[in-house]
Structure 1
Amino acid sequence: MDYCTKMRETIGNSPLIIVRPSVAIINKKGEILLSRCPGATWGIPGGILQLNESVEDCIKRNVQEDIGIHINNLKLFGVYSGEELNTKPEYGENEYHTVAIGYLCTDFDGVVTPDENQAIEAKFFKLDQLPEETDPFIEKKLVELKGQLEIG
């Protein structure tokens, strides 16, 4: 049982602060890897920090499990929080206040092989041709960081 599930058993639907490391994976063509679950928007791969896990280990584990890529190096590019990242329930769902830690990775091994059991979709996109269904927060951050992300 993961940390959030254990906490939910204790606190019910009360607000829960979660730490969500995420990574912008850029290939040699300068394209970014986006992923999504069925019915969700496109975003950068990420996960939820578990107890006794470093944020770097969390992102490496999640990317390996969900997308099949081994992360070699990570570079921190930002820590984000605030109302824009909070999940506001409408029908009794769980409320989350997210602290997102964003990394950049241009050094990775493996081939994109999304976890079929979770029906994850993942593929590379040109930074100036992101899909319409891209998460607005992620799209905004990619626009802000586009100069830093472009690979010569």
Structure 2
Amino acid sequence: MGYVKELRKLVGNRPLILPGAVVIILNEKNEILLQHRSDGGWGLPGGIMELGESMEETARREVQEETGLVVGELELMGIFSGEDYFLKVANGDELYSVTAVYATRDIKGELVIDGIESLDLQYFPLRELPKDLASGSRSYIEPYLSRLEDW
């Protein structure tokens, strides 16, 4: 997150356009992996792009940092952006996110809860998402529910 911190020193809380990626990870039971985030609620693993990264590299790095899993093949599901993706975070920082949503079943490793960004990691049935699923994550998953069930 060094890049964003450096930008914030220059622009303060003014809105930034920040690219990032999240990953819909499905297991063999067709359940989706969600992360109980330390900043509140359940969400998809993912985060903000660092300088020099591709979107795919961002997705893989963030998943590994937040879950301990190593991601193989990724399928791009969609890109989400626009005024519906404006955020004002607790410290007053404002941003417009541009988020690449990927899906995969190709994972290796064991789940590791880092205790920093992730308080818990659980698989949920696609049609039984938690009530406190972050609105952004819900908007990334719901357009693809039927497709993911058959995927």
TM-score exceeds 0.5: yes
Distance 2:7 2:40 in 1: 24
Q: Report if the CA contact (8 A) 1:30-1:151 is conserved.
A: no
Q: Report if the CA contact (8 A) 1:66-1:114 is conserved.
A: yes
- Which structure has greater strand proportion? 2
- Three-state SS of the structure 2 residue aligned to 1:101 is strand
- Three-state SS of the structure 2 residue aligned to 1:20 is strand
- Pair 84,117 (structure 1): closer, same or farther in 2 beyond 3 Å: same
| Displacement of 1:117 | 3.8
Determine whether 1:143 maps to 2:142: yes
| Displacement of 1:137 | 3.4
- Which residue of structure 2 lines up, in the alignment, with residue 115 of structure 1? 114
- Which residue of structure 1 lines up, in the alignment, with residue 85 of structure 2? 85
- Pair 133,57 (structure 1): closer, same or farther in 2 beyond 3 Å: same
Determine whether 1:20 maps to 2:57: no
Determine whether 1:133 maps to 2:120: no
- Which residue of structure 2 lines up, in the alignment, with residue 102 of structure 1? 101
Give TM-score scaled by structure 2 length.
0.91
Percent identity over paired residues? 33
Aligned residue pairs, count: 151
Q: Report if the CA contact (8 A) 1:66-1:120 is conserved.
A: no
- Which residue of structure 2 lines up, in the alignment, with residue 9 of structure 1? 9
Q: Once superposed, which parts of structure 1, at least 4 consecutive aligned residues long, lie more than 6 Å away?
A: none
| Displacement of 1:98 | 0.4
Structure 2: gaps (5+ residues): none
Question: Which amino acid is 1:74 matched to?
Answer: L
- Three-state SS of the structure 1 residue aligned to 2:128 is coil
Structure 1: gaps (5+ residues): none
- Three-state SS of the structure 2 residue aligned to 1:150 is helix
Determine whether 1:68 maps to 2:51: no
| Displacement of 1:92 | 6.5
